Structure 1
Amino acid sequence: MKKVTIYIDHLDDDADFVFMKKWLAKWEVEVTIADYSTGGWEHCWDLEAPEEAIQEIPEDWLCASDWATPKIFDKK
């Protein structure tokens, strides 16, 4: 299992959000959603999923976060 943070928006077109909803339905048994937030048009998920599932997500949707990449945010 790998931790990732996914960010998408759908200002003019909801195709990315629809893709993500289908992806979540496909992998629902194997994916754990730790957090989800939305501002209406913006969507952000912190989740754990098998590498195989993550490979189906467009790479530009993956982003750094305390959840997915904590070493980047380590303030020591």
Structure 2
Amino acid sequence: MIMAALKIADIRNMSAEERNEKLKELRNELMHERGVSAMGGAPSSPGIIRSIRTSIARILTVQKEEEKL
């Protein structure tokens, strides 16, 4: 499943439960893509791993910000 990087505004509008679910989904997808590239296969999209990592970082950033409030 190829997806664009999540926007911060979209992440902030999610509930904490939705964010945790999305984070789990993104981490599974990242593990899959890394596995494909480690086996010598070409990823379906060259920038997909970077996009997934960026989305994960954004979700974690929003979670940390909300912990401080």
Shorter-chain TM-score tier: 0.3 to 0.5
Higher relative contact order (CA 8 A, sep 6+): 2
Higher helix share: 2
TM-score (norm 2): 0.36
Higher strand share: 1
